């Protein structure tokens, strides 16, 4: 190469190398607070970010297990529970020693088919008594009413009243359960757990931390994860007619793994949760050749209104720090980023500028040959 070509290529190469920091690549700084990016309000972004070292924050693995909560109110409701009949229910009424007043259930008829149905107006008809209003009454109250009316015709009548079919009142279970549908309210108290069990249990796609109970137009968010895994009985509820239980999908329960890992991807958080170590392992681990083990970050939306994000940093240059990663529990929408080592970023810069340098070299060489031939 002649001196003229060297004078052209070398300064240009030097300019490209000096501007390498502008080349795209793994350029997230190891210290998030060193950035000088301004927000739209003119404040430094670093002022709106909390930065924590993972080995300095409290980990769930170190927390004491909470005492199991009781639910005295629920137990009281169950102890005092009564079923109130409604239109469509079928009653089985027996008057002892008076078979003419009792509709027998035979081999061709079930007790439900042989019973007395409550009509849409809330009444039923019974011999000697006529039409009586029974809706909103318990079986015991209906029995006392019949005894009072039949006493005019029968001395000291002995009457038994039972509900043969529960048709008037139901609860509804929808969403991510195996067998969604409606389930009857009976004379046996029905709780939230009972209804979910009758629906076959929740599916793999269920968000069991956000189950919605709708009653009278008002919604309550219930974490059945605490109920099932931690035995928190305070999350259980006694159900009433027309209650709606909706189990949401866990579509939002995802984390995003980016940077110097084997397979950058989106991961779904399963029911048992996900640790930082599990997310890294599922993504193929961080690349030992290109990753900076001291720069493993978890970015999370901040709870404080005046902050943008909480950033947690794990320094895994010491392999024992991975125990902290296993104890660090991820939350939905967390972003995990593994930064590139400085040498890896430099190699990427070289890989991008070398084709340009080579092109300039061979172009200059071709021109020199043309000049020599002339």
Residue 204 lies in a domain: yes
Q: Write down the residue that tokens 């001395």 correspond to.
A: 155
Average pLDDT (26-51) is 58
pLDDT per residue as tens digits for the range 285-311:
988 888 888 889 999 988 877 788 888
CA 163 to chain centre: 39
Look at residue 343 in the predicted model and tell me its pLDDT: 56
Residues 329 and 361 in one domain: no
Residues 154 and 101 in one domain: yes
Residue 192 lies in a domain: yes
Cα gap 117→163, rounded to integer Å? 10
Residues 217 and 147 in one domain: no
- The domain boundary, picked from 230, 249, 268, lies at 249
Helices (H) and strands (E) in the chain, counts: 8, 16
Q: How far is CA 274 from CA 41, 330, 354, in A?
A: 36, 6, 42
**In whole numbers, what is the pLDDT of the chain averaged over residues?**
80
pLDDT per residue as tens digits for the range 43-94:
566 678 888 888 755 545 444 556 666 788 999 999 999 999 999 999 999 8
Pull the structure tokens for residue 164: 């043969």
| pLDDT tier at 317, thresholds 50, 70, 90 | confident
Look at residue 20 in the predicted model and tell me its pLDDT: 43
C-beta separation of 255 from 279 below 8 A: yes
* Segment (H or E) for 94: strand 90-95
Residues 242 and 195 in one domain: yes
Paired with 297 in beta bridges are: 313, 337
Q: Among residues 50, 74, 17, 36, which one has the least CA distance to residue 240?
A: 74
Query: Which three-class secondary structure state does DSSP give residue 67?
Result: coil
Cβ density class 136-161: b for 16+ within 10 Å, e for less? ebbbeebbebbbeebeeeeeebebeb
Residues 257 and 243 in one domain: no
Look at residue 366 in the predicted model and tell me its pLDDT: 59
- The domain boundary, picked from 165, 187, 206, lies at 165
Q: Looking at per-residue confidence, does 262 or 10 come out higher?
A: 262
Look at residue 10 in the predicted model and tell me its pLDDT: 41
| pLDDT tier at 23, thresholds 50, 70, 90 | very low
What is the extent of the structural domain holding 286?
Answer: 31-63+253-340
- Indicate the number of domains in the chain: 4
pLDDT per residue as tens digits for the range 212-262:
999 999 999 998 988 888 788 888 999 999 999 999 998 888 999 999 899
Cα gap 337→32, rounded to integer Å? 12
Reply yes or no on whether the pLDDT at 167 is more than 70: yes
Q: What is the CATH number of the domain that holds 39?
A: 3.10.560.10
Pull the structure tokens for residue 362: 């061979």
Look at residue 295 in the predicted model and tell me its pLDDT: 87
Pull the structure tokens for residue 370: 């043309």
Look at residue 98 in the predicted model and tell me its pLDDT: 82
Instruction: Please give the share of the chain, as a percent, with pLDDT higher than 90.
Output: 41
Look at residue 196 in the predicted model and tell me its pLDDT: 96
Reply yes or no on whether the pLDDT at 106 is more than 50: no
Angle at 285 between CA 26 and CA 327, to 5 degrees: 110
Q: Looking at per-residue confidence, does 367 or 48 come out higher?
A: 48
Cα gap 280→258, rounded to integer Å? 10
Reply yes or no on whether the pLDDT at 334 is more than 90: yes
Residue 281 lies in a domain: yes
Reply yes or no on whether the pLDDT at 17 is more than 90: no
- The domain boundary, picked from 231, 249, 267, lies at 249
Least confident of 55-69, 134-148, 291-305, 331-345: 55-69
Look at residue 42 in the predicted model and tell me its pLDDT: 52
Residues 148 and 206 in one domain: no
| pLDDT tier at 370, thresholds 50, 70, 90 | low
Reply yes or no on whether the pLDDT at 7 is more than 60: no
Residue 84 lies in a domain: no
CB atoms within 10 A of CB 109: 12
Residue 269 lies in a domain: yes
Which residues, in sequence order, are CB contacts of 246 under 8 Å at separation 6+? 174, 175, 211, 212, 214
Reply yes or no on whether the pLDDT at 149 is more than 80: yes
């Amino acid at each position: 190469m002649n001196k003229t070509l060297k004078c052209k290529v070398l300064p240009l190469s030097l300019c490209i190398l000096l501007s390498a920091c502008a080349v795209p690549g793994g350029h997230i700084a190891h210290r998030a607070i060193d950035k000088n990016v301004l927000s739209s309000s003119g404040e430094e972004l670093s002022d709106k970010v909390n930065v924590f070292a993972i080995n300095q924050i409290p980990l769930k693995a170190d927390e004491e297990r909470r005492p199991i909560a009781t639910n005295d109110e629920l137990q009281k409701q169950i102890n005092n529970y009564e079923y109130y009949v409604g239109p469509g229910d079928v009653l089985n009424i027996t008057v002892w020693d008076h078979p003419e007043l009792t509709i027998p259930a035979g081999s061709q008829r079930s007790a439900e088919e042989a019973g007395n149905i409550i009509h849409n107006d809330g009444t039923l008809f019974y011999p000697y008594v006529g039409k009586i209003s029974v809706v909103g009454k318990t079986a015991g109250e209906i029995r006392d009413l019949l005894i009072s009316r039949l006493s005019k015709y029968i001395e000291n009548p002995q009457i038994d009243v039972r509900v043969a079919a529960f048709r008037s009142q139901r609860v509804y279970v929808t969403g991510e359960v195996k067998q969604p549908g409606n389930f009857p309210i009976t004379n046996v108290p029905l709780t939230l757990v009972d209804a979910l069990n009758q629906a076959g249990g929740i599916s793999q796609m269920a968000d069991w931390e956000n189950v919605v109970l709708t009653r009278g137009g008002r919604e309550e968010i219930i974490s059945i994860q605490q109920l099932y895994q931690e035995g928190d009985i305070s999350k259980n509820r006694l159900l009433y007619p027309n209650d709606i239980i909706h189990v949401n999908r866990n579509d939002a329960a995802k984390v995003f793994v980016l940077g110097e890992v084997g397979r950058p991807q989106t991961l779904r958080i399963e029911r048992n949760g996900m640790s930082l170590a599990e997310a890294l392992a599922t993504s193929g681990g961080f690349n030992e050749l290109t990753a900076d083990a001291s720069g493993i970050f978890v970015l999370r939306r901040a709870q404080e209104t005046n902050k943008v994000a909480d950033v947690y940093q794990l320094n895994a240059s010491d392999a024992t720090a991975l125990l902290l990663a296993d104890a660090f529990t991820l939350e939905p929408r967390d972003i995990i980023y593994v930064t590139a080592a400085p040498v890896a970023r430099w190699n990427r810069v070289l890989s991008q500028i070398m084709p340009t340098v080579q092109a300039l070299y061979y172009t200059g060489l071709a021109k020199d040959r043309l000049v020599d031939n002339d």
